[in-house]
Amino acid sequence: MNPVTDSPWGLPLATMRPRPWRVRDKILGGGRPLVMGILNVTPDSFFDGGRHSGIDAAIARCEALLAEGADILDVGGESTRPGASPVPAEEEAARVVPVIDAITKRFGCVVSVDTMKASVARAALDAGASIVNDVSAMTFDPMMLEVPQSFGAGIVLNHMRGEPRTMQKSPVYEDVVREVGGHLAERVRLLAAMGVSKDRIAVDPGIGFGKRREDNYALIEHLEDLDALGCPVLLGHSRKSFIGATPGLEGSDRLHPGVAVAVYAALKGVSILRVHDVGPVVEALRMLEAVRAH
């Protein structure tokens, strides 16, 4: 028995290289993972619902995230936590559009809108957003496929099994890595056929979106498999329930384990990390970069 190779600690770290992301007239990243800070302007988000739902509170939170080192701010007006109820498009737009307008004018930062609805995405892009982050991979609203191209916007395609209300009710996969990759490949091919270049499309395996705990582990362990799609790879694992369901972490606040996952994904070469805890993740990445550059 070889205690190194027979232990998970002895497994080699398969790596890819972070890919640059074309967003409107900018090219983001490529040399290191980008950090996307999460701003939920909903009353019922699983982590910070209600705390940043007013414009003043949202601006203050954005200022803090940018000071901590966020490269992108991801603004969402509809909770997609397991069991969440849908929000009418008008209400969702009323939550996100004034915030996006205010923060792009004040900070001039790159902003993503987290929405599944074409009308909300269009209004957000008109208000200054540069990226559409659709957790349904543009399957919920067929009109969404027509929105980003006219703006030159970046796109995030997230894998989700089912819908937020039902996605965690007994999801089953035969080979989660292959099935998630295959679904995302189909969506990338569809957008490519519509003229959207792959460097504008980030693919997200959808941690927690219709996945069992072991499915989330497998997707993180095999992130490099998504690199074959030719797109930047985004990981959104922050504070999610699979962390608290990990043996020995049941009482964790999920912060430190989440930073550990971010570092592991960075070592694999992920292009974008979508996180709540920007400061700790940025510090961890700076330390990692310093060690690797030595």
pLDDT digits (tens, 9 = 90+) for 223-270: 999 999 999 999 999 999 999 999 999 999 999 999 999 999 999 999
Tens of pLDDT, residues 179-214: 999 999 999 999 999 999 999 999 999 999 999 999
Token reading at 280:
């700790």
Residue 6, in any domain of the structure: no
Cβ neighbourhood burial of 184 (10 Å; 0-12, 13-18, 19+)? buried
Residue 269 lies in a domain: yes
The answer to whether 191 touches 210, Cβ cutoff 8 Å, is: no
* β partners of residue 177: none
- Is residue 207 within 8 A of residue 241, CB to CB? The reply is no
Residue owning tokens 């992130």 = 223
Does residue 47 surpass a pLDDT of 60? Answer: no
Report residue 163's pLDDT band, with 50, 70 and 90 as the boundaries.
confident
Query: Where on the phi/psi map is residue 137: left (φ > 0), alpha (ψ -120 to 50), or beta?
Result: left
Residue 23 pLDDT greater than 60, yes or no: yes
Q: What is the DSSP letter of 50?
A: T
Per 3-state DSSP, the chain is made up of helix, strand and coil in percentages (nearest 5) of 45, 15, 45
Give the residue numbers spanning the domain of 187. 24-80+88-293
Residue 9 lies in a domain: no
100 assigned to some structural domain: yes
Q: Decide if pLDDT at 2 tops 60.
A: no
User: What is the C-alpha to C-alpha distance for residues 120 and 130, in angstroms, rounded to an integer?
Assistant: 13
CB of 203 closer than 8 Å to CB of 226: yes
Residues ≥6 apart with Cβ < 8 Å to 188: 157, 198, 201, 203, 229, 230, 231
d(CA 239, CA 47): 7
Query: Which pLDDT value is given to residue 110?
Result: 98
Q: Which of 156, 93, 153 is nearest to 125 (CA)?
A: 153
What is the pLDDT averaged over residues 102-123? 97
Kindly state whether residue 114 falls inside one of the protein's structural domains.
Answer: yes
Q: Residue 155: beta bridge partners?
A: 132, 201
- The answer as to whether 19 is a domain residue is no
Catalytic residues: 240, 274
In a domain, 10, yes or no: no
- Its pTM stands at 0.92
**CATH number of the domain that 263 lies in?**
3.20.20.20
- Per the structure, the count of domains in the chain is 1
Domain-embedded: residue 173? yes
Helices in 37-115 by DSSP H: which ranges? 55-68, 89-107
